[in-house]
Amino acid sequence: MNEVKLGLHTFGDVTVDDDGARTSDAQTIRNIVDEAVLGDQVGLAYFGVGEHHRHEFAVSSPEIVLAAAASRTERIHLGTAVTVLSSDDPVRVYERFATLDAVSGGRAEAIVGRGSFIESFPLFGYDLRDYEALFDEKLDLFARLRDETPVTWQGTQRTALENADVYPKTENGFPVWVGVGGTPSSVVRTARYGFNLMLAIIGGAPARFRPFVDLFHRSLEQFGRDALPIGIHSPGHIAETDEQAWEELYPAMEENRNAIGAERGWPPYSRLQFQHDVGPEGALFAGSPETVARKIATAVRTLGAERFDLKYANGSMPHSTLMRSIELYGTKVAPMVDDLLGRG
């Protein structure tokens, strides 16, 4: 199989310090830049920052944070996880990524999606009744902007464009992924526009996403497109032993899941659910380097993925703990995954 690249994702979770005190939003953002720098130093392929507009998360403008990371890194690719395209303007999104691509020396990537949170819609004046139409139309316009030639376009959710040009121009374009939670129509739409597919696997066994992978391949063929990369986004945490990783992760994840679950009607998170999630049939990649490497290799092999991005921040864990997880991911897990997949 093709080489598998390992990356990192964070939603910009507001953390606590080593004494358990809540970190300020400003310090959290500075820490995220340091985490990107460490990811670069340990040889990881990608660092993605999510966009959110609520108190649990510090980052509402990912591209600014990524530009800061670009100035202190050399090789790691930088992008989002995800950009909420539905409540943004595709022209402005494209311009921001083209600018990030320039300052990073061609290392920008975009992961766009509808997002799993809705705060941005009323914040920026969008009606949730237009949820589907907003994403459909804006993705269509974003796809046309990739050619970096004048665009004529008309829809129902924003003003029309007539022979409009967009600046700055990139030197070689930049990769675009669509984050998909697992609906067939989303997979087909991603193939139709020729974007890479990023599967958000946050519950259940990765193997259950295999039909969506097969659908993506069939759809690309039907649309007359060449094969395109498939990636996996899943949460996790790494420590020296399984027990240490689980004890570090569970309290933060329980707090985070219960806070969000109270809004969405989820049952309380439990140790029993957590132990299922970290097991072979769960979507939580948490444990020792050996445990996490085996689970990544299995998921990658099962889905034929070319990239695995670990959502390494999951609630209010200390920055020092996250840094150790990143270090182990790059120095221990990555070589083990190579060996397990027969490339070491």
Q: Is the pLDDT of residue 1 over 80?
A: no
DSSP secondary structure code for residue 20 in this structure: S
Kindly report the backbone phi and psi dihedral angles of residue 34, in degrees, each rounded to the nearest multiple of 5, phi listed first: -60, -35
Beta carbons within 10 angstroms of residue 321's beta carbon:
21
Per-residue pLDDT of 184-230, as tens digits, reads 999 999 999 999 999 999 999 999 999 999 999 999 999 999 999 99
Rounded Cα distance between 341 and 297, Å, is 6
Domain that holds residue 237: 5-340
**Residue at token pair 């490339």:** 343
Which residue type occupies 69? A
Q: Are 174 and 101 in contact (CB under 8 A)?
A: yes
Q: How many CB atoms within 10 Å of residue 229?
A: 16
Q: What are phi and psi of 2, to 5 degrees?
A: -70, 160
User: pLDDT for 38-50, tens place per residue?
Assistant: 999 999 999 999 9
- Rounded to two decimals, what is the model's pTM? 0.96
- Give residue-wise pLDDT tens across range 234-271: 999 999 999 999 999 999 999 999 988 898 899 999 99
pLDDT of amino acid 111: 98
The CATH number for 290's domain is 3.20.20.30
Query: For the chain, how many structural domains are there in total?
Result: 1
